[in-house]
Amino acid sequence: MSDGAARVDAVSAPGYFISFEGGDGVGKSTQARLLGQWLGELTGREVVLTREPGGTELGKELRAAVLHGQDMDPRTEALIYAADRAHHVASLVRPALERGAIVVTDRYLDSSVAYQAGGRELGADEIELISRWAVQDLMPDVTILLDLDPAAASARIRRQHDRLERAGAEFHRRTREAFLARAAADPERWVVLDATTSIDDLQAQIRVDVAARLELTPVVEEAEDTVAAEPDDGFDDTDSAIGYTPGLGLGLGPGAAGPATGSGAA
């Protein structure tokens, strides 16, 4: 079996939906981008890297309003995030999953539960309900929580703080607690990682966890074939840090053939 054949089989399977969550300044965007690049190389699939709020053209307008516009009531804020999410899922995320892509989003509905329920102290069940309604129950296959003390995270943000970032230490403490509680309640979906770790080490750990959760088992090619056909597999050095053997080729094991694509399981 060649590495190429494994990739073609994988592409006919449904997509994967991965979300990154955590407080402001924890490094989600960097980790999401690195994971997306790696998954694209590993699986041969299309990777859609996106974010909330602001993953679409309409979303950019909603993002500007909610982060940089006038002050607003918490319910208004919650509905703007839900509206951004509804449009994001309907116009970008769901179509991508349906064509077999891997969607990696920087924040999803767990941010609403953490920030608008935890932070703003609205009801968690209500916030989850409006978001679930907005996305017709589409839930990620895996959610990575990058956990960091809010004071340390805030110090990492060098640009001017936006409306949410200015919400205060107590708000951010509640938000962090809400994320951790939500993750603890659903360990099958969540992976919780310490965001004080270096970028490379954190990324290596994320790859191990995501590959395991999505059952992306590495396929070790026969050394002779691979060396002849593919002397350089194009993966960067960090692959060796996660236990894959560079130069032997990577493909997808049989377990990767058919995960749920956000089937609605919480």
User: In whole angstroms, how close is the CB of 197 to ligand TYD at the nearest point?
Assistant: 19
The one among 17, 38, 51, 140 contacting ligand TYD by CB under 6 A: 51
Helix extents (H) in 89-168: 94-98, 109-112, 124-135, 150-156
Half-sphere exposure of 126 (CA within 13 A, CB side): 11
Size of the site for ligand TYD (CB under 6 A): 15
User: Are the C-beta atoms of residues 191 and 143 closer than 8 Å to each other?
Assistant: yes
52 near ligand TYD, judged by CB under 6 A: yes
Distance CA 257, CA 249 (A): 19
81 near ligand TYD, judged by CB under 6 A: yes
User: In whole angstroms, how close is the CB of 76 to ligand TYD at the nearest point?
Assistant: 12
User: In whole angstroms, how close is the CB of 58 to ligand TYD at the nearest point?
Assistant: 15
User: In whole angstroms, how close is the CB of 51 to ligand TYD at the nearest point?
Assistant: 6
20 near ligand TYD, judged by CB under 6 A: no
CB-based contacts of 129, cutoff 8 Å, min separation 6: none
107 near ligand TYD, judged by CB under 6 A: yes
DSSP β-bridge partners for residue 190: 143
For the chain, the residue count is 266
User: In whole angstroms, how close is the CB of 139 to ligand TYD at the nearest point?
Assistant: 14
Question: How many Å is the Cα radius of gyration of the chain?
Answer: 19
Site for ligand TYD in 224-263 (CB under 6 A): none
Site of tokens 């992976």: 191
21 near ligand TYD, judged by CB under 6 A: no
Distance CA 33, CA 24 (A): 16
C-beta closer to ligand TYD: residue 249 or 262: 262
3 near ligand TYD, judged by CB under 6 A: no
Which DSSP letter does residue 239 get?
H
DSSP β-bridge partners for residue 17: 103
The one among 16, 17, 38, 115 contacting ligand TYD by CB under 6 A: 115
Q: What residue type is 38 in one-letter code?
A: W
Distance CA 253, CA 255 (A): 5
User: Are the C-beta atoms of residues 36 and 104 closer than 8 Å to each other?
Assistant: yes
The one among 31, 112, 203, 205 contacting ligand TYD by CB under 6 A: 112
88 near ligand TYD, judged by CB under 6 A: no
Site for ligand TYD in 145-184 (CB under 6 A): 162, 164-165
User: In whole angstroms, how close is the CB of 56 to ligand TYD at the nearest point?
Assistant: 13
> What token pair was written down for 230?
């593919």
User: In whole angstroms, how close is the CB of 254 to ligand TYD at the nearest point?
Assistant: 35
- Contacts with ligand TYD by CB under 6 A lie at 24, 51-53, 67, 81, 106-107, 111-112, 115-116, 162, 164-165
